[in-house]
Amino acid sequence: MYRTNTCGELRLADKGKKVTLAGWVQKSRKLGGMTFIDLRDRYGVTQLVVEADAPAALVETATSLGREFVIQVTGEVVERESKNAKMPTGEIEIRLAGITILNKSVTPPFTIEEESDGGEDLRAKYRYLDLRRPPLQRALALRHRLAQEIRTYLDGEGFMEIETPYLIKSTPEGARDFVVPSRMNPGQFYALPQSPQTFKQLLMVAGYDRYFQIVRCFRDEDLRADRQPEFTQIDCEMSFVEQDDVLGMFEGMMRSMFKNALGVDIPNPLPRMSWYDAMDNYGSDKPDVRFGMTIHEITAQAHGHGFSVFDSCPYVGAIAVPGAAEYTRKQLDELTEWVKRPQVGAKGLVYVKVNPDGTYKSSVDKFFAEADLAAIAAACEAAPGDLLLVLCGEKRKTQTMLGVLRIYMGGRLGLRDPKVFAPLWIVDFPLLEWSEEDQRFYAMHHPFTAPKPEHEAWFYSDKKEDLERVCANAYDFVLNGTELGGGSIRIHDAAMQSRMFEVLGISKEDAEYKFGFIINAFKFGAPPHGGLAFGFDRVCALFGGQETIRDYIAFPKNNMGRDVMIDSPSFIDQSQLDELQLDIRQPEA
């Protein structure tokens, strides 16, 4: 070992010890003949000092050190004169007897500190230097800690981590697969898994009972912000369970992660909210319940006052923004512009100010008397000083817009503290979604999701309105407005699966072509089973109080799916293409 101690562990109790440390030069400075060096490693920073009367060679070496040099030092732990309460090692320093330069460093292209002066592109190119910065070290340490907690919890609950293959088969449905040409089978391809869904269900058929895996998944999508072509999933499945068993097990996992990694207690049991309530009250299937400001329907109060915009809409809804009655005309105009942006898509915004003095002021005063506005305010449970923001239109669409507006206003009012954690389950999703365009039902989750047992009669009904109200045994885990995971109880009964395909308008032949392999496996005694998957990158980011996942992935790709550090993807040798018997099409002139 090049060291007796790390740079994070020495304390006043170690005073007088002769120690050897190794690490990177964070900075050095001269002060009255003495040289002070901050030595950094993963574990912390320790101050080193070379006295003015030290041997000349030592002083010279100390003076020659540049930023990020790797050095090994020997010396004695001494008490500092001016202690630094902000540093865990701040009560001591090392009076040096020797310095060995283990490696020099050219000047790094940006500062390696809590906050860097490097731009995003530059830091991405030199990711191995950016990764030296404490925020990234903390992020990856948290990720490691969470992975350990997950494994310890699930192992304790009798789950087995079973590795499933990465070279699988391209499936004709769903998102786009990454494919891998097979040299030994020219013209044929493997596909990289979008998730181990098929394999985990097979493991249930195989009797493994409780499976999990922290596993990489791949999706060749056009990348949106904060999406990665490869991402990590906590993938789980259980046999002989009902929905309550799955929810209980995995909120237990989350509880232990919050407790052991963050020291945070979350409610036991976790709140559950039906999809219908989430849509009605939060305008989102992933509600941020850290704050109220819920959506209120005011259709009854809004209709029949001669305001044709409201009267022509099947739904009118509002949120009451606390303390915003004092917004200026300019601020209200800005809000109106904000909701009219294509990302929200509202046609306009009606406001009602619930003034602290008991009066009302609204953009539709012409149509609504004080008493009418009071009735609206009452329906919204508004308090004096609140600002009501009203949208109208088709019900779910309007609720969604109000939900987006609610999140925006919550942010403006500082109600979305990333250190506050409000997890909950969303349950009772509709099983089916009717497409007006295609005049058919689609599975809201996937075609293997089971209907709720109490809705089975509706599921076998021929009436559209019956099918529309069938709820699925599906569930999402939502934290602070982000869906961290979800899953369902699967259909294990062949007759029910056939009915599902019938409802979805999938012919027997089509079902056989698309899902034949798994349907066949299910003929050999499939147990009742269900499971879920969490997006681990996002779990880490939210636990770390961040919205973006990139800092929680050691070597992420950019929005073009490119790793700018290693410059990948890249062209390959012609000989490789020859072996694969592939030709790249030349772009047309």
In whole angstroms, the minimum distance from the beta carbon of 37 to a copy of itself comes to: 14
> DSSP label at 568?
B
Total length of the chain:
589
In whole angstroms, the minimum distance from the beta carbon of 565 to a copy of itself comes to: 8
Q: How far is CA 485 from CA 209, 236, 251, 505, in A?
A: 21, 11, 11, 28
In whole angstroms, the minimum distance from the beta carbon of 16 to a copy of itself comes to: 24
Residue that has been written with the tokens 């100010």 in this structure: 353
Residue that has been written with the tokens 């609950």 in this structure: 157
Closest-CA residue to 376 (of 394, 399, 350): 350
In whole angstroms, the minimum distance from the beta carbon of 113 to a copy of itself comes to: 13
In whole angstroms, the minimum distance from the beta carbon of 3 to a copy of itself comes to: 6
Encoded tokens for 533: 């998957």
Task: Give the span between the Cα atoms of 196 and 205, in whole angstroms.
Answer: 14
In whole angstroms, the minimum distance from the beta carbon of 519 to a copy of itself comes to: 12
In whole angstroms, the minimum distance from the beta carbon of 171 to a copy of itself comes to: 10
Q: By C-beta, is 308 or 586 nearer to a copy of itself?
A: 586
Q: Where are the alpha helices (DSSP H) in 392-491?
A: 395-412, 456-459, 464-468
Q: By C-beta, is 16 or 524 nearer to a copy of itself?
A: 524
In whole angstroms, the minimum distance from the beta carbon of 60 to a copy of itself comes to: 20
Task: Give the span between the Cα atoms of 422 and 265, in whole angstroms.
Answer: 11
Whether 23 contacts 41, CB under 8 Å: yes
Q: Let me know the angle formed at the C-alpha of 437 by 432 and 440, rounded to the nearest 5 degrees.
A: 35
Q: Where are the alpha helices (DSSP H) in 289-369?
A: 299-302, 308-311, 329-340
Q: By C-beta, is 302 or 491 nearer to a copy of itself?
A: 491
Q: How far is CA 195 from CA 164, 192, 534, in A?
A: 10, 9, 11
For residue 560, give the H/E element and its range.
none
In whole angstroms, the minimum distance from the beta carbon of 312 to a copy of itself comes to: 43
In whole angstroms, the minimum distance from the beta carbon of 556 to a copy of itself comes to: 8
In whole angstroms, the minimum distance from the beta carbon of 403 to a copy of itself comes to: 32
Helix (H, G, I), strand (E, B) or coil at 171: coil
Q: By C-beta, is 42 or 464 nearer to a copy of itself?
A: 42
Q: By C-beta, is 41 or 372 nearer to a copy of itself?
A: 41
Encoded tokens for 128: 């191995």
Q: By C-beta, is 2 or 276 nearer to a copy of itself?
A: 2
Q: By C-beta, is 26 or 281 nearer to a copy of itself?
A: 26
- φ/ψ of 79, rounded to 5, equals -75, 140
> DSSP label at 184?
S
- φ/ψ of 347, rounded to 5, equals -85, -25
Q: By C-beta, is 1 or 31 nearer to a copy of itself?
A: 1
Q: By C-beta, is 55 or 186 nearer to a copy of itself?
A: 186
Q: By C-beta, is 131 or 415 nearer to a copy of itself?
A: 131
Task: Give the span between the Cα atoms of 58 and 73, in whole angstroms.
Answer: 11
Closest-CA residue to 145 (of 267, 25, 262): 262
Helix (H, G, I), strand (E, B) or coil at 133: coil
In whole angstroms, the minimum distance from the beta carbon of 140 to a copy of itself comes to: 6
Roughly how many angstroms between the first and final C-alpha of the chain, as a whole number? 61
CA 440, chain centre distance (Å): 32
Q: By C-beta, is 433 or 578 nearer to a copy of itself?
A: 578
In whole angstroms, the minimum distance from the beta carbon of 581 to a copy of itself comes to: 4
Encoded tokens for 56: 């000349």
User: What is the rounded radius of gyration, in angstroms, for the C-alpha atoms of the chain?
Assistant: 30
Closest-CA residue to 247 (of 535, 554, 531, 550): 531
Q: List 48's β-bridge partners, or say none.
A: 37, 94
> DSSP label at 550?
G
Q: By C-beta, is 33 or 569 nearer to a copy of itself?
A: 569
Q: By C-beta, is 127 or 272 nearer to a copy of itself?
A: 127
Encoded tokens for 374: 């009071």
In whole angstroms, the minimum distance from the beta carbon of 238 to a copy of itself comes to: 9
Closest-CA residue to 555 (of 122, 118, 128, 121): 128
Q: By C-beta, is 22 or 478 nearer to a copy of itself?
A: 22
Whether 433 contacts 444, CB under 8 Å: yes
Q: How far is CA 415 from CA 288, 322, 364, 407, 486, in A?
A: 10, 11, 29, 9, 26
In whole angstroms, the minimum distance from the beta carbon of 583 to a copy of itself comes to: 4
Q: Where are the alpha helices (DSSP H) in 341-394?
A: 370-379
Q: By C-beta, is 276 or 555 nearer to a copy of itself?
A: 555
